[in-house]
Structure 1
Amino acid sequence: MCLGRQKLTVRSILLTGGFGNIGGRFSAFLIENGFANLTLTTRQSRLAPEWAPNARIVRCDLTQSSTLAGILDGIDIVFHFAALNDRLCASDPELAHRVNVDGTENLVAAAISAGVKHIVYMSTIHVYGSPLIGEIDEFSTTHPTHPYGITHLAAEEVLSSHSRLIGSTIIRSGNGFGYPMTFDVDIWHIIVNDLCVQAVRDQKLIIKSPANLQRNFVTLRDICRTLHFVGFVNPTSNGSTTFNLGSRSSRTLREMANLVADRCNRLFGYRPEIIESVPETLEDTSLQFDCSRLWQTGFSTEELFDDEIDGILKLVAANLV
């Protein structure tokens, strides 16, 4: 669905990690909404994807600043998604720092040199640390303990420290979930996507953490809509702005498992058994992820959980069955 006229006239857009989980979906979203001049970066040699057949594909390694030479010339806005995921960060914290932090430093320096106006950075709720409980807003203390959160916070600080030279918007996303553009994207370990794989492959759902744990889930569609909004409708022209992004209420793992089971029944005619493999926690795990700063701009999430889960289940079924 086209989102209509944009406030900001943009000539050229670059997405780092343009073939990844968010980068793939967002590039497809932009094409759907009339943006034609896209550049997608990738560490591997690739052809333009079928969802963005006219995109310019640039091979680069953000940890090697020399590979950025020239690719940002003429670019108006950068959406920065290239980062190691949580599992890779845990297995190699030094590499995580090189990619997530040093890579961001190199990108920002190149963007400033090229005259880029604005960078939108995809960060994470995990910069607030663990456990994620109670009320969390943008003024809450950041104390990450996992390399994933630590390196994302450090990357945020890179952007903030250069805010006099280039505008930046930082999105601290809750637990994102959704279907990637291709099945080979390494995103199947995250909670909802993993449950969908189990539903199709095993016809049962094993909840691997206490089922009463609360998380704030947000669909990939709402992530894309938010990125579009902060990039083109309500951009940060100077300085640095940080927004929390999540749904209006948190849900337990049990609630999400039941939602996946219900959608599986609707699509495929069977409802997987739900197995809670560990006892409930006796601690209060309630989470209020305050996104009112974002809501106050006029943006609102759609929270179409059913549609997003259906998309995941269909993609899994097409590739595993």
Structure 2
Amino acid sequence: MSAIVRPATVLVTGARGYLGGRLVQYLAGRGRAVHGTSRSDRPAPDGWPAGVPLTKLDPLGDPAAAIAALSGVGTVIHLAAANEGRSASEPDAALAETGAGTRRLVEAAVAAGVERFVFLSTIHVYGTPLRGLLSETDRVRPVHPYAITHQVGEAFTLAASDAGRIEGVVIRLSNAIGAPAWIDVDRWTLLANDLARQAVRTGEVVLRTPGQWRDFIALSDVCQAVERIIDAPSQALRDGIVNLASGRTSRVDDIAVRVARAAEKELGRPIVVHGPTPDVGAAEPPFTLSVDRLQRLGLVLSTTESLDHALAETIRLLKHRSLRTDSPRPR
């Protein structure tokens, strides 16, 4: 049987966001036909790729407008969702935004003839705290509203796929590290971003949650993996769920130290680190994310070098912004 040839255009929702902006830049740089959408009707930010459309699309808005926006699109990558803070403070609104919004966008994609619908979810659908070896076939037990609402989005995506209405793919992302596409992306509360901002602003890194374990993956690797997933043949994606992680669990204390070292190199001054716990040596991480499915797609992600590069690029972005802010204004 010959392979299905999908229309070339990839539409990315949430394209002004942390991952969305980087993904649009990456795909455009790879020569892909890409279209970004946002719930905002603000002009494209500085640094938006030339020739890439950015249009307003509210998944909870007019269904006809959504169908029109998706016309001629081969793959939808759906990133538009309520973040952790909004999910915690306004869970009902987050459920509508992430859950119902995903359902309605899936319906629009089906009506528009989209071939593949990719929903970006989170590893936290497995539960809190994470324990043991976690693979895509494990039962999900989300606790935080952010994870619960994403599990709802997963369910709508996979239900449409199982019914043969569209090819649905769920990507469960771990903790991404790297510079946003533009400085005004509101994700500076993420651990590595917050630590990097502290280093540039104050010359210190204060870790408020020492001892935690996480799986970190570089944004550059995330973009590479997403492209590989959207191009993968259907049979390679199995049941349509893929963990997108490094498969290596490390302490946040280690990341704090690495942020400080990256900042010292980029800024040329010492950075004081507060908060990391003493090296526990043989302590075993409480969980590991299975990345067997990624590896079957030919991906080996987030080496030490790629994580260090991700931290350095974040420092450089903050340093550049700081220099621009501190420069005297022309009279």
Whether TM-score is above 0.5 comes out as yes
Give the match for residue 262 of structure 1: 261
Offset of 1:14 from its aligned partner? Answer: 0.8
CA distance in 2, matches of 1:249, 1:58: 37
- Matching residue's letter, 1:88: R
- Matching residue's letter, 1:111: A
Q: Bigger CA drift: 227-236 or 241-250?
A: 227-236
CA distance in 2, matches of 1:238, 1:207: 38
- Matching residue's letter, 1:202: T
Answering whether residue 317 of structure 2 is matched by residue 315 of structure 1, we say yes
**Helix, strand or coil at the partner of 1:119:** strand
Give the match for residue 81 of structure 1: 79
Question: 1:231-273 deviations in whole A, cap 9, x for unaligned?
Answer: 1244569985101111131111111011111111111122321
Give the match for residue 196 of structure 1: 196
CA distance in 2, matches of 1:8, 1:18: 25
* Correspondences of 1:167-316 after superposition (within 5 Å): 167-209=167-209, 211-234=210-233, 240-276=239-275, 285-303=285-303, 304-316=306-318
CA distance in 2, matches of 1:55, 1:89: 30
| Residue 111 to residue 237, structure 1, CA distance change in 2 (3 Å) | farther
* Correspondences of 1:25-104 after superposition (within 5 Å): 25-35=22-32, 37-49=33-45, 50-66=47-63, 67-104=65-102
Offset of 1:134 from its aligned partner? Answer: 2.2
Structure 1 unpaired stretches of 5+ = 1-6
Offset of 1:10 from its aligned partner? Answer: 3.4
2:151 aligned residue (143, 150, 153): 153
Give the structure with the larger helix fraction: 2
| Residue 69 to residue 297, structure 1, CA distance change in 2 (3 Å) | closer
- Matching residue's letter, 1:311: E
Question: 1:183-212 deviations in whole A, cap 9, x for unaligned?
Answer: 111111111111101111121111111x22
Structure 2 unpaired stretches of 5+ = 324-331
| Residue 158 to residue 135, structure 1, CA distance change in 2 (3 Å) | same
Offset of 1:9 from its aligned partner? Answer: 5.1
Offset of 1:46 from its aligned partner? Answer: 3.5
> Residues 13 and 75 of structure 1 are in contact (CA less than 8 Å); yes or no, is this contact kept in structure 2?
yes
| Residue 106 to residue 239, structure 1, CA distance change in 2 (3 Å) | farther
- Matching residue's letter, 1:255: D
**Helix, strand or coil at the partner of 1:243:** strand
TM (norm. structure 2) is 0.88
| Residue 53 to residue 197, structure 1, CA distance change in 2 (3 Å) | same
**Aligned CA-pair RMSD:** 2.4
The ranges of structure 1 where at least 4 consecutive aligned residues each deviate by more than 3 angstroms after the TM superposition are 7-10, 46-51, 233-240, 277-281
**Percent identity between the aligned chains?**
29
CA distance in 2, matches of 1:74, 1:240: 26
> Residues 46 and 57 of structure 1 are in contact (CA less than 8 Å); yes or no, is this contact kept in structure 2?
no
> Residues 11 and 75 of structure 1 are in contact (CA less than 8 Å); yes or no, is this contact kept in structure 2?
yes
CA distance in 2, matches of 1:53, 1:235: 32
Question: 1:60-114 deviations in whole A, cap 9, x for unaligned?
Answer: 2112243414111111110111011101111100110111011001100000001
**Helix, strand or coil at the partner of 2:137:** coil
CA distance in 2, matches of 1:205, 1:178: 17
TM (norm. structure 1) is 0.91
